[in-house]
Amino acid sequence: MKDTGEASVAGDPRLFDMRLRRSHDDLFGMLARLYGHRPDYAAFRDALDAALRAAWAARPDALKWHDLERDLEPDWFQRPDMAGYVFYADRFAGDFRGVAERIDYLKDLGITYVHIMPCLHPRPGDSDGGYSVMDYRSTDPRLGSMADLQALAAALRSHGMSLCIDLVLNHTAREHDWAARARAGEARYRDYYHVFDDETEPRAFDRTLVEVFPDTAPGNFTFDADLNAWVWTTFNTHQWDLNWANPWVFLEMTEVMLYLANQGVDVLRFDAVAFMWKRMGTRCQSEPEVHMILHALRAASRIVAPAVIHLHEAIVGPAEMIPYLGQGEHSGKEGNLAYHNSLMVQVWSALASRDARMMAHVLDTHFPPVLPNATYATYLRCHDDIGWAVTDEDAAASGLSGQGHRAFLSEFYEGRFPGSFARGALFQVNEATGDRRISGTCASLAGLEQALALNDPGLADMAVARILMGHALIASFGGIPLVYMGDEIALLNDWHYIDTPAHAHDSRWLHRPEMDWPAAAEAQAGGDGPAARVWHGLRHILARRAATPALHAQYPTLICRPDDPALFAFRRAAPAAPLLCVFNVADSWRVLPEDWAAAQGVTAFRCALADAPVTPQDGKLHLPPYAALWLA
């Protein structure tokens, strides 16, 4: 496609120098503050400079050309034609080659961004769904080789699609070479981890730490007999936390990051970033140094591989999340994307309580209307459980008890609360805090499993309406909406997960089913079954999103407060053509006064989602259960 002339423009070394100048202070300014006090700082800085140059030299011409394109179109990931699909390669299509064969399916749905769940070389046996990585420079052999991944990235790129993969920054598998060398007694590698000769410090840290997997992996430290010491393991005992206070860890991981960028990856999902810095007397989450490290990593990508953006996985409380998209000195310079966990939690909470007031309060209070050079990854379900991240303060502001409401949500989505439409399972019950997280697929949590079990078409209609309303909401809020594999055809919970020994202890496998291709083909063919209605409905939502300029992430999202508690609304303040998005979270008809909508700046009623006019009656818009309107 490109002649030699073009390739040499993109590969001109002066571009590297210009980009280094552009981001020099962002990188070395942060690093000097993190590591400048160390006697080996100058050696580290030189080694990092050499690593950046080596990575640039190794970057293929086609990707350097891609860098130029994206330097010219820095808003590419904020545009309304972006829509993501998230899946385990083996469960979706067997392996990387199988995924390439399914590109047409994804295109048909309207997908432009593909997130393959952890696909780097995992430890054998239980690998926490691939998040326990023993080699970052090779792929999971069951999925194919690094060359196959590279070929898949190129195939996706040729279809205008971006590839996202996971890079676990917080920990490596115990089987990683660094950990093996630490156990073999190499001091250099022992310093890559948080290792303690006795229990004194671990116990002191423990006083303020929380437990992530209290059921299956209690505690935060593990005694390792080979090491003859305690090692920090926030998650599972086989996941050893890296010591980011050591600059050589920063160097190694930067090299890995750029190596993956050079395979043709567009989006790197940084896993569990909140935990990367430890400080005695704190929860060791979201410490200021975490943001400095992420700022520096972002700068390194901008120097060598500016086509690449960073997605931060920080599943933290609402107020703690925004800094991961850059705040204060990190504004516009940290993550380009971060999961909007609060939005997800609030959607499920509003559906259970048929009341959107707390959702409006939380989104209005804690989230700015617009983010510089960043946006959200919005979603209803992902591969993880749902933790009810509702603070006591936010609950109280909405007249609820935090603890009471969280307990209600767990009971509701487990399916035990009287009148609940959901079928789900508990994940990690924490007796000490009363926390009970929830697993389940979108369709099962939204009521379809129960409706089918009861053979009740009316309930199935309601479930389909909930699923589509939820997706219309995450497709319009601002950010890249992510569809989790199988949700587009309303796959139900996979209760057989317990038959797989490596999965039986982890109920998250309930909502990580295998793709059902016959069901997908049937849904695509049409008909009025729930799967077909969800497929075609979702496809329509994504097509209408792509056709609606006001949904560009650069336009502010302003929360509105309709009088009816069952209605959730926000305005997408595009100067030329603002959009008023309204959602009915209840299972009954509601009305929206015409003059209220007019006061929000919408006068001629046309729904951009239905692509049809809406006619008010008696000065009111009438909204059926779970209606979604994008009023232009």
Tell me the closest approach of the beta carbon of residue 226 to ligand GLC, in angstroms: 22
For ligand GLC, the binding residue among 56, 131, 413, 535 (CB under 6 A) is: 131
Of residues 312-341, those binding ligand GLC (CB under 6 A): 313
47 class by beta-carbon count within 10 Å (0-12 exposed, 13-18 middle, 19+ buried): middle
Contact mark string toward ligand GLC, 512..551, x via CB under 6 A: ----------------------------------------
Tell me the closest approach of the beta carbon of residue 126 to ligand GLC, in angstroms: 11
Of residues 562-621, those binding ligand GLC (CB under 6 A): none
Q: In the numeric block, which tokens belong to residue 225?
A: 């007999």
In terms of CB distance, is 143 or 272 closer to ligand GLC? Answer: 272
Q: Which residues pair with 631 in a beta bridge?
A: 580, 607
6 is catalytic: no
Q: Is 120 in the site for ligand GLC (CB under 6 A)?
A: no
Residue type, 593: P
Give the CB-nearest residue to ligand GLC.
Answer: 131
Q: Which of 128, 140, 175, 271 is catalytic?
A: 271
Left, alpha or beta for 268 (phi > 0: left; psi -120 to 50: alpha)? beta
In terms of CB distance, is 276 or 352 closer to ligand GLC? Answer: 276
Which residues of 102-220 form beta strands (DSSP E)?
Answer: 113-116, 120-122, 133-139, 162-168, 171-173, 195-196
Q: Which residues pair with 572 in a beta bridge?
A: 557, 579
Tell me the closest approach of the beta carbon of residue 236 to ligand GLC, in angstroms: 8
The whole-angstrom separation of Cα 439 and Cα 442 is 10
The whole-angstrom separation of Cα 422 and Cα 447 is 5
In terms of CB distance, is 129 or 323 closer to ligand GLC? Answer: 129
Q: Is 272 in the site for ligand GLC (CB under 6 A)?
A: yes
Q: Which of 26, 128, 266, 313 is catalytic?
A: 313
- In DSSP notation, 424-454 reads -EEEEEETTTTEEEEE--HHHHTTHHHHHHT
Tell me the closest approach of the beta carbon of residue 437 to ligand GLC, in angstroms: 12
**Range 132-137, long-range pairs (CB < 8 A, 24+ positions):** 132/171, 132/172, 132/173, 132/174, 132/236, 132/238, 132/239, 133/168, 133/172, 133/173, 133/176, 134/172, 134/173, 134/175, 134/176, 134/177, 135/176, 135/177, 136/167, 136/256, 136/259, 136/260, 137/256, 137/259
Measured distance between the N- and C-terminal CA atoms of the chain, rounded to whole angstroms: 41
Tell me the closest approach of the beta carbon of residue 168 to ligand GLC, in angstroms: 6
Which of the ranges 125-133, 358-366, 525-533, 571-579 carries the binding residues for ligand GLC, by CB under 6 A?
125-133
Tell me the closest approach of the beta carbon of residue 274 to ligand GLC, in angstroms: 9
488 is catalytic: no
Tell me the closest approach of the beta carbon of residue 151 to ligand GLC, in angstroms: 26
Which of the ranges 123-131, 496-504, 545-553, 562-570 carries the binding residues for ligand GLC, by CB under 6 A?
123-131
In terms of CB distance, is 23 or 132 closer to ligand GLC? Answer: 132
110, 543 Cβ separation under 8 angstroms: yes
In terms of CB distance, is 128 or 255 closer to ligand GLC? Answer: 128
For ligand GLC, the binding residue among 235, 408, 421, 509 (CB under 6 A) is: 235
In terms of CB distance, is 168 or 374 closer to ligand GLC? Answer: 168
Tell me the closest approach of the beta carbon of residue 131 to ligand GLC, in angstroms: 3
Q: How many CA atoms lie within 13 A of 496 on its CB side?
A: 3
Sign of the torsion formed by the C-alpha atoms of 458, 460, 466 and 472: negative
Tell me the closest approach of the beta carbon of residue 104 to ligand GLC, in angstroms: 29
Closest CA to 128 of 174, 83, 161: 174
- Angle at Cα 38 formed by Cα 36 and Cα 40, nearest 5°? 105
Query: What residues have CB less than 8 Å from 405, skipping those under 6 apart?
Result: 349, 353, 388, 390, 395
Q: Is 274 in the site for ligand GLC (CB under 6 A)?
A: no
Q: Is 133 in the site for ligand GLC (CB under 6 A)?
A: no
In terms of CB distance, is 192 or 270 closer to ligand GLC? Answer: 270
User: Could you tell me how many residues of this chain bind ligand GLC (CB under 6 A)?
Assistant: 10
Q: Is 128 in the site for ligand GLC (CB under 6 A)?
A: yes
Which of the ranges 128-136, 345-353, 397-405, 422-430 carries the binding residues for ligand GLC, by CB under 6 A?
128-136
**Range 555-564, long-range pairs (CB < 8 A, 24+ positions):** 555/370, 555/478, 556/369, 556/370, 557/369, 557/370, 557/477, 557/478, 558/369, 559/360, 559/363, 559/364, 560/360, 560/600, 561/360, 562/592, 562/596, 563/593, 563/596, 564/590, 564/591, 564/592
Q: Is 211 in the site for ligand GLC (CB under 6 A)?
A: no
Q: Is 129 in the site for ligand GLC (CB under 6 A)?
A: yes
In terms of CB distance, is 113 or 131 closer to ligand GLC? Answer: 131
Q: In the numeric block, which tokens belong to residue 32?
A: 């000097």
Of residues 372-431, those binding ligand GLC (CB under 6 A): 383-384
Which of the ranges 124-132, 223-231, 283-291, 339-347 carries the binding residues for ligand GLC, by CB under 6 A?
124-132
In terms of CB distance, is 132 or 262 closer to ligand GLC? Answer: 132
Tell me the closest approach of the beta carbon of residue 212 to ligand GLC, in angstroms: 7
Closest CA to 273 of 167, 116, 389, 136: 167
In terms of CB distance, is 60 or 219 closer to ligand GLC? Answer: 219
Residue positions annotated with a catalytic role: 271, 313
Residues that bind ligand GLC (CB under 6 A): 128-129, 131, 168, 235, 271-272, 313, 383-384
